[in-house]
Amino acid sequence: MEITVIGTGYVGLVTAVGFAELGHRVLGVDRDAAKVRRLQAGDPVIYEPGLAEKLVAQQGAGRLHFTTEIAAGVRHAPILFICVGTPSLPDGSADLSQMEAVVRQIAAALDGYRLVVEKSTVPVRTSSWVHRTLRLYTRPGIEFEVASNPEFLREGRAVHDFFHPDRIVLGVPSQRAGDLLGEVYAPFHCPKVITDPNTAEIIKHACNSFLALKISYINLIAELCERTQADVHTVAQAMGLDQRIGPEFLEAGLGYGGACLPKDVQAFIHIGEEHGLDFSLLKEADAINRRRVDGILQKLKRALWILEDKEIAVLGLAFKANTDDVRGSQGLAVARALLDSGARVRLWDPHAAARAQELLSPSERVAYTDSIWGALEGAHAAVIATPWEELRALDLARVAATMLTPIVVDGRNLLDTEAVRAAGLEYHPVGRPSVAFT
Ligand code: UDX
């Protein structure tokens, strides 16, 4: 069927390409003309494994086009997915201005029934606002409906997640809307949760906040492990074997970053408060997460005594592996904290360096290197900030030989303690016993 996807960021572009591969005829809409030109030329703009090939293949098959015109998107399809950004306002609540602007443009172009579907993460009751806005700006007598279909894909494996969802959530106001979305998702055989739009909106925030809680919980346990010479890795492993808990999202380290978890926790706290509820549980998760960077700085200070004028390599700037996204990057947060302490930083990332430079410019104290070895050369210490495979597979003897003082702070618990010991590194992981300099 015909589908329009408005907003071609990480979620929108993967969704557009995915729907096209499923055989739908998709029109992607974005207000950024330069981006649309690149997309039209087969350049996905973002780095996401597998995306570039699929984009080109679907364009070649004639099933995927891009435009800047929302009106063209409205003409193209009976179903319009809104995938625009919903960033944080200073008070933590979601900024829905992009959403509202898009909805007004849809309203102005409506010429007959359309199903408008929110895919962006939005606060509960947004669908009522979308509905009211459409009513206000649409010519009388024109029918439309609003549904919520939250997206759960993870950056770095978004293409895989699109085709293999754990579940699909359809928050629909009517049988008609349910049938339309049912047709879109007919090829999927995973569980489908059919519910009302408010419930669907809450599901998305509840999921991301729960994942953040899980990560902060294991990071709190890691802090206890550090004070008691216990090993958080084994604690997490044993916890994960309990089927009620499960093994995922129990990796202690630098905490959660990215464009979603930090923002969604803030937004959910705000939503709770708006409805007279105390969401301190989530405030604590956020507080634990915020002190992760300081924990890494403390380890460096304990190892180096004085940070001023030290050369520190920060390995990994993407907020997680397999993406070039540096929004909410803990690696950049570590780099900034080091600069505040007077240190110099040498930054490496295989995919995210260009985007990182937009947020932290190269300077006398900030160097970007093309190779891990360039970052380690002459460094007093190195911090592992992103779990890139390249870092997991490091030649540790060469690390020891390259650095001025072979001190590694492992913010992602990537390295094997025995291998580190054998290579002669001083090693400080998170929530696990350190290896002393010999
Ligand atoms: C998240 C949700 O997982 C996804 O369902 C939603 O659609 C968007 O938000 P994403 O932001 O891509 O996805 O990243 P995710 O894989 O959830 O990781 C978030 C952060 O938590 C990363 O910084 C990651 O390094 C960190 N993390 C994850 C941990 O610190 N420990 C873990 O055990 C897992």
What pLDDT does residue 183 have?
96
Number of domains in the chain: 3
Residues in CB range of 36: below 8 A, 6 or more apart: 8, 30, 66, 67, 68
Instruction: Give the pLDDT confidence of 399-438 residue by residue, as tens digits.
Output: 999 999 999 999 999 999 999 999 999 999 999 999 998 7
Tens of pLDDT, residues 321-345: 999 999 999 999 999 999 999 999 9
| Confidence band, pLDDT 50/70/90 cuts, at residue 393 | very high
Which one-letter DSSP state was computed for residue 138?
S
- Residue 37 CA, ligand 1 centroid: distance in Å: 30
Pick the residue whose CA is nearest to atom 30 on ligand 1. Answer: 255
The model's pLDDT over 255-272, given as tens digits with 9 standing for 90+, comes to 999 999 999 999 999 999
Distance 340 CA to ligand 1 centre (A): 27
Other beta carbons within 10 Å of 341: 15
**For the whole prediction, is pTM greater than 0.85?**
yes
| Residues in Cβ contact with 108 at an 8 Å cutoff, skipping those fewer than 6 apart | 71, 137, 138
Sort 393 into a burial class: Cβ within 10 Å, 0-12 / 13-18 / 19+: exposed
Residue 275 lies in a domain: yes
> What is the pLDDT, as a whole number, of residue 92?
92
- Across 60-218, the runs of DSSP E, i.e. the strands, are 64-67, 79-82, 114-118, 144-148, 168-171, 192-195
Average pLDDT on 387-405 reads: 96
Q: Which tens digit of pLDDT belongs to each residue from 144-162?
A: 999 999 999 999 999 999 9
438 lies in some domain: no
Does a structural domain hold residue 437?
no
The whole-angstrom separation of Cα 149 and Cα 168 is: 8
300 pLDDT above the threshold of 80 = yes
Centroid of ligand 1 to alpha carbon of 325 (angstroms): 12
Q: What is the CATH number of the domain that holds 265?
A: 1.10.1040.10
- CA separation, residue 333 to residues 250, 318, 385 (Å): 21, 11, 10
Is there an atom of ligand 1 within 6 Å of 255 CB?
yes
Q: Is residue 166 part of a domain?
A: yes
Residue whose CA lies nearest to ligand 1 atom number 26: 256
Name the β-bridge partners of 144.
114
> What CATH code is carried by the domain that includes residue 376?
3.40.50.720
Q: Do residue 317 and residue 389 come from a single domain?
A: yes
| Mean pLDDT confidence for 228-238 | 97
Domain that residue 40 falls in: 2-195
| 352 and 295 belong to one structural domain | yes
User: Average model confidence (pLDDT) for the chain?
Assistant: 97
Nearest ligand 1 atom to the CA of 259 is: 11
Which among 36, 122, 110 has a CA at the least distance from the CA of 78?
A: 110
Is residue 321 included in any domain, yes or no? yes
Give percent of the chain above pLDDT 70: 100
